[in-house]
Amino acid sequence: MTVDFPLILLVLVCISGFLWLLDFLFLAPGRKRKVEALQSQFPEWEIAESSDARKYQAQIAQNARVPVVVEYAKSFFPVLFIVFVLRSFLVEPFQIPSSSMVPTLLIGDYILVNKFTYGIRLPVIRTKVIDVNEPERGDVMVFFPPHMNDTYFIKRVIGLPGDTVSYRDKEIYVNGERLQRDPSEDAGLDARYRIDAEFMGGKEHLMQIDKLRPAADFSEVVDPGHYFMMGDNRDNSADSRLWGQVPEKDIVGKAFAIWMHWDSFFSVPSFARVGTIQ
């Protein structure tokens, strides 16, 4: 079962904020009046170790103490609220769970996703309220795929609305033009896999093909308001070739940086791969 963390975070923010507001409006004034009355009753309450001070503290603990649940709510609400705003509207961390974006992204990479570059969306319901930019060909994008609307996926934008995307002999054609691809420095080091530098949208990125796996050719026109996504690990990626195009409403954000690599809980995190995502 997939955990809906944004929804859980929203519920925690609402509950802690409600408890803090309830205390501020209704409970705190009553405690303040009790404290003032006790200070009048024990005039030497500020003198340490005095009889009045001991009696005053005992009465405060018994009759005017802040409830524990309110103390926790007041402590956690600011932190939860800041995290909620950051994750919902600015930057969200994301872990790479599969090899579909090799060699650009590896299993265990922890990346940062820009949540506002494609527009401001309401958390949980994901409705866009402010337009900013549109995805560009070559962007590495996080989204909800049409067949699993509760799980983040990450792929590269290949086709924009109205584009004709074709795949023939492991070459990508967009609107009839083959994407330029040049061998990288380690292209021939492996008998099975080949890594090439691919040029898209005026930028260069690495991609990988499996020389032993046959490719299924196809050609498809991208629907209005949709995007055609493919993994950089072209022969080992479940993407738009399998489950279809991604509607604009299911976009999460643009992946822009790797900030850590951590293979497993029992391994040591590495920062050797820190950098921007091409």
One of 16, 100, 166, 240 is an active-site residue; which one? 100
Alpha-carbon distance of 216 to 237, in angstroms, equals 13
One of 115, 155, 170, 254 is an active-site residue; which one? 155
Query: What is the pairing mode between strands 193-200 and 171-174?
Result: unpaired
| Known catalytic residue at 267 | no
Query: What is the pairing mode between strands 218-221 and 226-230?
Result: unpaired
DSSP state, 152?
A: -
Token duo for residue 21: 């507001």
Strand partners, 258: 111, 275
DSSP state, 28?
A: H
User: Looking up tokens 């009839």, which residue turns up?
Assistant: 176
- E strand intervals along 7-163: 91-95, 109-114, 120-121, 128-130, 140-143, 153-159
| Known catalytic residue at 100 | yes
* Residues designated catalytic: 100, 155
